[in-house]
């Protein structure tokens, strides 16, 4: 049943998403073609427009991913989707997999496209062949710690966004918020976002685990994890004893993970017992 629900949701959105992915691929190819002309001003202008269009297409896929899930849970397809004789854990698992598939696919395409646009921009500005510009960008960004940090940020951001959207749609579809329609999930997401921002800030400041930034950034991207809170650094900054921050608190990782567990349990219970269809 899991595979059937997962395939249904994937295919349902694919009829729209494929055109956006095709458009994203097209903007990259057109951008490379225009870059080969090497016409000053023209290349920068059109590549900027293409990059904006490229990013908008990626955002559109994410928006459609969310709206399709809402339609399945509370919108025009909800009676069909909710009438499927499947365990709630299977439904939630298929929803999670559906979200992760499109989110990660879109993020990967965005990352590749932005990298190509960046290399192309570097090649034009520095009047270099494409492969040399690629080598320069690779030497700057393709470092183990940078790649590791970027991968962690991407995975963390994707999971956080997916769980947040599932939470907002499920809790926002509760009987008490039914009269608000789409406003229910929007309200829940807004309140959740504000609460998470406050919790993240408190965790960064007071939980004693941080990343210590390099003393001299020119020596390279080097950092290490230390068991100190960020609060002393902020106190020095606000009291004008220092004009830079050497520690970045990462305690929010642990609090966010706990919140994810609470949200997952909440989603399961509300989805199983309290969801109300319009």
Q: What does the pLDDT look like over 127-139, one tens digit per residue? A: 666 666 667 666 6
| pLDDT value for 246 | 75
| pLDDT value for 109 | 92
Rounded Cα distance between 37 and 63, Å, is: 35
- The stretches in the chain having pLDDT less than 50 are 276-278
Rounded Cα distance between 249 and 28, Å, is: 37
Q: What does the pLDDT look like over 109-127, one tens digit per residue? A: 998 888 888 777 777 666 6
pTM of the model as a whole = 0.79
**Cα 66–251–144 angle (5° rounding)?**
80
Q: How does 111-123 read in b/e, with b if 16+ C-beta sit within 10 Å?
A: eebeebbebbbbb
Q: What are the respective helix, strand and coil percentages of the chain, to the nearest 5?
A: 75, 5, 20
């Amino acid at each position: 049943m899991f595979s059937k629900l997962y395939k249904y949701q994937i295919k349902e959105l694919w009829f729209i998403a494929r055109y956006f992915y095709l458009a994203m691929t097209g903007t990259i190819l057109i951008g490379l073609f225009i870059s080969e002309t090497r016409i000053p001003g023209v290349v920068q202008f059109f590549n900027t427009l293409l990059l904006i269009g490229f990013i908008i297409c990626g955002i559109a896929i994410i928006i459609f991913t969310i709206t399709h899930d809402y339609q399945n849970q509370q919108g025009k397809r909800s009676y069909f989707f909710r009438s499927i004789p499947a365990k709630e854990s299977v439904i939630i698992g298929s929803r999670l997999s559906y979200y992760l598939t499109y989110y990660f696919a879109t993020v990967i395409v965005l990352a590749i496209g932005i990298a190509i646009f960046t290399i192309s921009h570097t090649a034009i500005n520095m009047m270099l062949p494409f492969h040399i510009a690629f080598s320069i960008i690779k030497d700057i960004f393709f470092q183990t710690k940078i790649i590791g940090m970027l991968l962690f940020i991407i995975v963390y951001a994707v999971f956080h966004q997916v769980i947040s959207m599932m939470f907002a749609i499920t809790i926002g579809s509760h009987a008490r918020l039914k009269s608000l329609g789409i406003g229910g999930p929007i309200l829940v997401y807004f309140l959740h976002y504000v609460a998470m921002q406050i919790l993240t800030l408190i965790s960064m400041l007071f939980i004693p685990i941080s990343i210590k930034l390099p003393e001299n950034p020119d020596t390279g991207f080097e950092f290490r994890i230390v068991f100190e809170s960020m609060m002393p650094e902020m106190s020095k900054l606000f009291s004008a004893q220092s004009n830079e921050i050497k520690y970045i608190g990462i305690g929010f990782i642990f609090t966010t993970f706990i919140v994810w567990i609470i949200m997952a349990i909440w989603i399961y219970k509300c989805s199983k017992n309290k969801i109300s269809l319009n």
